[in-house]
Structure 1
Amino acid sequence: MDISKITDPVVKQAIEALQNGDKSWYSFFTENPAMTDDGNSVDFKSFFSNALGNEKFLSIDRVENDGKDIYGEFKAGKWGNFPVFFKFHKNAEGKFDRLDIGQSK
């Protein structure tokens, strides 16, 4: 899976960790980042305790917002494959303090 379209270097490293099911994924985020899934608030750590290693991008189709918004086909474990977005929000220290994910049209 080609992640070369991702232009933000920190987002690219985070997506690499996600793709590999690597717990370093958490190091890119603040201690307790805000997160939404299809517009609903969810607990980041609880969500990824199940998703990390089981869910990943199958393709990166589009990158927007200076490399912080990623769109592509996603394998969501038992839920199947579908188009999604991941929108990363970076704080002043360069860590992500919010992640919005959901199905894209």
Structure 2
Amino acid sequence: MSLLKIVMLVALTSCGYGHDHSNIKNMDTSLLTHPIVKDAIDALQAGKADAWFALFTADAELYDDGNKMDLKKFFGAAIGHERFTSIDKVENKGLDVYGRFHSDKWGDFKTYMKFHVNAEGKIYKLEIGQADY
């Protein structure tokens, strides 16, 4: 095999962090019991920004490790480049999700997402951050 073919094969199968992502598309989401949270995680995993943003109120708030962020700007850049690689635990009636996460920019780490859903079934607040569990 030529050097060019080897380089192309490596580039197409690796994100540069020396690990396999084959489990991402088939990740077990059976722990996700809240339907809105499941829809959100499914949209994030599939890189579907329209489906993701449709689940939020127009004025939804995002907090990253306690710091208020612009939800549309943050996830506009993240969707398609960030995803869970495993769901490890779910708490708070299915609204708090903890798992291993991959970011093309930041690498791999444990994270949490805490969803706040209003009576109309829309996410009005999302808290995210690195988790230690």
Q: TM-score normalised by the shorter chain: which range applies?
A: over 0.9
The structure with more radius of gyration: 2
Aligned pairs for 1:63-74 (under 5 A) are 63-74=90-101
What residue in structure 2 maps to residue 10 of structure 1?
36
Return 5+ residue gaps in structure 2 as ranges: 1-26
Aligned pairs for 1:90-105 (under 5 A) are 90-105=117-132
What residue in structure 1 maps to residue 60 of structure 2?
33
Return 5+ residue gaps in structure 1 as ranges: none
Aligned pairs for 1:58-97 (under 5 A) are 58-97=85-124
TM-score, with length taken from structure 2: 0.77
Q: Matched residues in 1 for 2:65 and 2:93: separation?
A: 22
**Residue type at the aligned position of 2:65:** D
Q: Which protein has the bigger strand share?
A: 1
The question of whether the paired residues in 2 share the 8 Å contact of 1:90 and 1:97 is answered with yes
How far apart are 1:10 and its partner, in Å? 1.2
The question of whether the paired residues in 2 share the 8 Å contact of 1:32 and 1:44 is answered with no
- The count of residues paired between Structure 1 and Structure 2 equals 105
Q: Write the deviation string for residues 38-74 of structure 1: whole angstroms up to 9, x where unpaired.
A: 1100000000111001000000000000000000000
TM-score, with length taken from structure 1: 0.97
How far apart are 1:89 and its partner, in Å? 0.1
- Root-mean-square deviation (CA, aligned residues, Å) is 0.6
Aligned equivalent of 2:79, options 52, 57, 63: 52
Q: Matched residues in 1 for 2:113 and 2:103: separation?
A: 13
**Residue type at the aligned position of 2:82:** E
**Residue type at the aligned position of 2:37:** V
How far apart are 1:78 and its partner, in Å? 1.2
**Residue type at the aligned position of 2:32:** I
